[in-house]
Amino acid sequence: MVMIPRLVIAAPASGSGKTTVATGLMAAFAQRGLAVSPHKVGPDYIDPGYHSLATGRAGRNLDAYMCGPELIAPLFAHGARGCDLAIVEGVMGLYDGASGQGELASTAHVAKLLRAPVVLVVDASSQSRSVAALVHGFASWDPEVRISGVILNKVGSDRHEMLLRDALDESGVPVMGVLRRAEQVATPSRHLGLVPVAERRGDAMAAVAAMGAQVAGGCDLEALMRLARSAPGTPVAAEAWDPVAAVGPVRVGGARGGPAPLPAPSLDRGSAPDPGPRSPDGPESTPGWAASPQGVAPVVAVAGGPAFTFSYAEHSELLAAAGADVVTFDPLRDEALPEGTRGLVIGGGFPEVYAPELSANEPLRKAVADLAATGAPVAAECAGLLYLSRSLDGLPMCGVLDAEGRMSERLTLGYREAVAITDSPLAAAGTRLRGHEFHRTVLEPGAGAAPAWGMHLPERRVEGFVQQGIHASYLHTHWASAPGIARRFVEWAAG
């Protein structure tokens, strides 16, 4: 059973102050010497960066759509192992989940799966007595969701606070904090939300410190800790998720024997498709590709730095569990791939913001293209897809894919259901996964002769590129839902 004290920080709607309050609570409790485990409901990559800065621990996502409800408690337990307190920041409004799928992947859904008390953050800037009706409505909507406290945000004055408190006295939900408007805790945003921590570390540290100070001064931390400790053990048989157990037996590195890697499992938990023979574009048939020395862990390079900040912590953990030597590099600064690189993972981020710098790093662009030409496995998501293209907003990129990218005014955002169309280092053809898209760019063409995915939702289309060892797509996936991805990728890298 998971007995970690925990709180879910939710709100009636986006923009109410969840990130400020959640990050501030993390920082305030960490400042008191507690080990705080930070979590974020949904697929967002940016907020966990601020959580990590506040706590000194990896920010982790809890996404019931991509990973399935049954993995939420185990992933939570994995992240919170050894901590004194876990704080889970919600997504959108409390009851907002995957479109057309009821409560699935909503903050309320995750709170129920964790049996965690909910603290509702309310933007009180334009209301007084009406706040009681709002809180009552949210607290009574679903009796299984335990709304146990309110934090009032953007309160204008002592008089305003008195009116709000008087109204909420009738609701039965206690006020656990009051925060006044504060410019110093504002964080800059752009086309995909907050500016990531990696791009403004000094300013971000100051903002997180200000959030912690504001929350410590305006919230009853003792009452919030008592509430967190009131959370019971979860109803799920929640052995903590373990990347080694998830990956299973591997043949890489010589230390752990086992069968050949299986394809990533189907999301419907049924039988996985037969992997069949490797793609003819796999390493066995690609000139220049040779197996790594027996007993040596293949180096898998993972792009990081300000341009590539979108990654789930579990991905690197799974790669390491599958036998890889995971090494991070920064495409903005490093002119060569890590020594001995045999596989490359380029996640999401903001290449459009850093296109001039990425383009100017010609030695690294050539190194990436040369590696891809050998048939080495290359997994690229969104920003990685753009980086592999011929050009981005007219600036040369790696030229691995015969496609061109550009910024767009249209935001592409949402969950997706997908099936692998072509055998690749990530999955066998026929493998079903869930993921999400999150970008304001367009790639033309959007799919190659061998597409990566066939999308089922929200509309039917093919998307992405598979060629030689490359799997490149706009689709973000969470590998904890399909750990065979990491096993298959590392086996491919080992040759």
Positions marked active-site? 382
User: Following DSSP, what letter does each residue of 365-388 receive, concatenated?
Assistant: HHHHHHHHHTT--EEEETHHHHHH
CA-CA distance, 25 to 218, in Å (whole number)?
Answer: 11
Sorted by sequence, the CB contacts under 8 Å of residue 482 that are 6+ apart come out as 264, 265, 267, 427, 431, 433
Sorted by sequence, the CB contacts under 8 Å of residue 259 that are 6+ apart come out as 249, 251
At residue 318, what are phi and psi to the nearest 5 degrees? -70, -40
- For residue 396, whether the previous peptide bond is cis, meaning omega lies within 30 degrees of 0, is no
CA-CA distance, 54 to 453, in Å (whole number)?
Answer: 37
Strand ranges (DSSP E) for 259-321?
299-303
CA-CA distance, 128 to 126, in Å (whole number)?
Answer: 7
What angle do the packed helices 18-31 and 46-55 form, to 10 degrees? 20
Task: Find the helix or strand (DSSP H, E) in which 326 lies.
Answer: strand 325-329
Helix, strand, coil content of the chain in percent (nearest 5): 30, 25, 45
CA-CA distance, 174 to 442, in Å (whole number)?
Answer: 48
